[in-house]
């Protein structure tokens, strides 16, 4: 079955702009989570959605937001981009929400802010 699909794979934005990243989970998966990966901070949790509701949020400023649609697809948005937002943004999906759950990552969206 198809894996987690993220679009776009690569993008370059200018400081102050906003960006929207998209994630299509594995078919049948209802939980989608987002992570930011940078060389300095490693993988950090952004937020998790299940049944169109945000269930958990990491320690990121309000410029980072997301949503989930009825078909489980998810988008995340970063407004007023800063140079430090340059990172690999990873989406992961899982069947349900809860401990011991196996999550599957997409290949990520590489964002460069100049």
- Measured on CA atoms in the order 3, 8, 10, 14, is the torsion positive or negative? negative
In angstroms, give the least distance from the CB of 16 to other proteins: 28
Query: Which residue, 14 or 28, is less far from other proteins as judged by CB?
Result: 28
Q: Which residues bind other proteins (CB under 8 A)?
A: 4, 31, 33, 35, 42-45, 48, 50, 55-56, 58, 90, 92, 94, 97-108
Cβ of residue 80: shortest distance to other proteins, in angstroms?
25
Closest alpha carbon to 74 in 99, 104, 44, 50: 50
Q: Which residues contact 110 (CB under 8 A, 6 or more apart)?
A: 9, 10, 11, 88
Q: Which is nearer to other proteins, 99 or 114 (CB)?
A: 99
| Residue closer to other proteins, measured from CB, 22 or 45 | 45
- Toward other proteins, which CB reaches closer, 10 or 114? 10
Question: Least distance from C-beta 43 to other proteins, angstroms?
Answer: 4
7 DSSP assignment:
E
Q: How far is the CB of 4 from other proteins (least distance, A)?
A: 7
């Amino acid at each position: 079955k198809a894996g987690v699909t993220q679009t776009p794979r690569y993008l370059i934005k200018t400081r102050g702009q906003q960006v929207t990243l998209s994630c299509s989970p594995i078919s049948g998966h209802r939980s989608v989570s987002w992570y930011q990966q940078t060389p300095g901070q490693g993988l950090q949790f952004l937020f998790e959605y299940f049944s169109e509701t945000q269930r958990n949020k990491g320690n990121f400023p309000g410029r980072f937001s997301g949503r989930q649609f009825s078909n489980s697809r998810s988008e995340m948005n970063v407004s007023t981009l800063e140079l430090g937002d340059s990172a690999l943004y990873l989406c992961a999906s899982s069947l349900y929400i809860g401990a011991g759950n196996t999550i599957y990552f997409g290949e990520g969206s590489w964002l460069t802010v100049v």
